[in-house]
Structure 1
């Protein structure tokens, strides 16, 4: 049975791949981007099944209008995928005030505005699936990506709370946790902070860190079967890792965290009073 899917950030990368895959199998897709020139090919090929929408997700009123417009256009809405976002590269000390505010506006507040816009529709129909594109970097960190980490940690907390709020309303919620993929994430989509010499040594060693090794990057096309299985599943998971690195590294990271927490457990309990 075909679905009506709303996806942000769909002019390239995962968004474009997934939108096209949905259309190929007969779904109806509303796809957003700041500049919809990158969606012209899909509009020409899929006609009435495809609705391109120019949208700045940081504009709350525009986000609400886009969701409501897609719902009115197609007469239904089944899945909302918050895919839009970008990275800021730089050590914490290097990130400018404006760059920090801008990435939170896009990655966190943009996700929030689209989510809030979709919820009344999903509540009314007692069904729907909200999918947030998070990252393994919403679960553990890498140096020089700390502000991006912070935005994805925020999306994780917001979405996990949301899932518990809407579980009895027929609304499904999923966080997608990709490891690195050969998309444009580190290219023209990224913001580079003004460097400080003190961090040169850390940056020069990044290529040897697990998760950033050349062989650690997945092929974006390989995610298509996973995203289709996810939206078709009657009981989708709250979190879905994409790629071979995420879960195995998460297990090791959390094992080390638990070890440290347990070592300080007596101090923690004594602090209870």
Structure 2
């Protein structure tokens, strides 16, 4: 049975790939994008199954209006894929207030507005699947991505909490946690903090060196089958790492964290007071 999927950031990167894959197998897709013209080829090819809607997820009222329009068209929403977002690169100390707020407005608040608009529908249906595109940097961190890391940590906490609030209503959640992929995330979908504090030059140089390794970047097309698999699975995972780098990095991080927790166990217990 085909599903109705609402996806943000559908005009490029993961969003474009996944939208096309869903349409190809017969699903109906509401593609929420800033630039509808970017979807013309898909609209021409799938006129009955693709509804492109212009949306800036930063604007809460627009998000609710867009979701209402989607319901008016297809009558239900089975899956939401919160994919819209961008990366802010640079030293955290040097970020401006506007840059910091924009990073959180899009990556965190934009995701929150979509979920808040979708949940009344899914509660009424007593079914639904919220798929939130996070990052392995919502678990561990890299320098030069402090505010991006923070936005993904926030998203992870929000979705994990929602999972505990809506599970009894037949609504499931999945956090997708990719490593870097060869999309435009580090290109057109990125912003850069311009800074000149020389104390951070060594950090900048190190980040540039590590980002040049081609094996670090996954192949976007390889994510299509994993996405379809979790959409179709009766018991999808609450978290799914995408990519070898994500798996290896998070495994090392959790191993180290558990070791540190255990090393300080007695101090932690003593702090309880009794």
TM tier, shorter chain? over 0.9
2:217 matches 1:217: yes
TM-superposed CA distance for 1:213, in Å, is 3.0
The runs of 5 or more residues in structure 2 that have no matched partner are none
Structure 1 outlier segments of 4+, above 3 Å: none
| 1:88 alignment counterpart | 88
User: Which piece of structure 1 moves more, 38-47 or 12-21?
Assistant: 38-47
TM-superposed CA distance for 1:248, in Å, is 2.0
TM-superposed CA distance for 1:100, in Å, is 0.3
TM-superposed CA distance for 1:120, in Å, is 0.6
2:66 matches 1:78: no
Query: Which secondary structure does the structure 1 equivalent of 2:48 belong to?
Result: helix
Write out per-residue CA displacement over residues 102-145 of structure 1, whole angstroms, 9 at most, x where no aligned residue. 11010000000000111011010110100000000101000000
Distance (whole Å) between structure 1 residues aligned to residue 94 and residue 53 of structure 2: 35
2:27 matches 1:46: no
Kept after mapping to 1: 8 A contact 2:76/2:121 = no
| 1:204 alignment counterpart | 205
| 1:260 alignment counterpart | 260
The 5 Å alignment of 1:1-273 reads 1-196=1-196, 197-209=198-210, 213-273=213-273
Distance (whole Å) between structure 1 residues aligned to residue 189 and residue 52 of structure 2: 20
Kept after mapping to 2: 8 A contact 1:179/1:218 = yes
Distance (whole Å) between structure 2 residues aligned to residue 70 and residue 212 of structure 1: 41
Write out per-residue CA displacement over residues 4-56 of structure 1, whole angstroms, 9 at most, x where no aligned residue. 10000011000001001100111110001112121111111110211101001
TM-superposed CA distance for 1:245, in Å, is 1.5
Q: TM-score, normalised by structure 1?
A: 0.97
Q: TM-score, normalised by structure 2?
A: 0.96
Query: Which secondary structure does the structure 1 equivalent of 2:5 belong to?
Result: strand
User: Which piece of structure 1 moves more, 31-40 or 115-124?
Assistant: 31-40
Q: CA RMSD in A?
A: 1.2
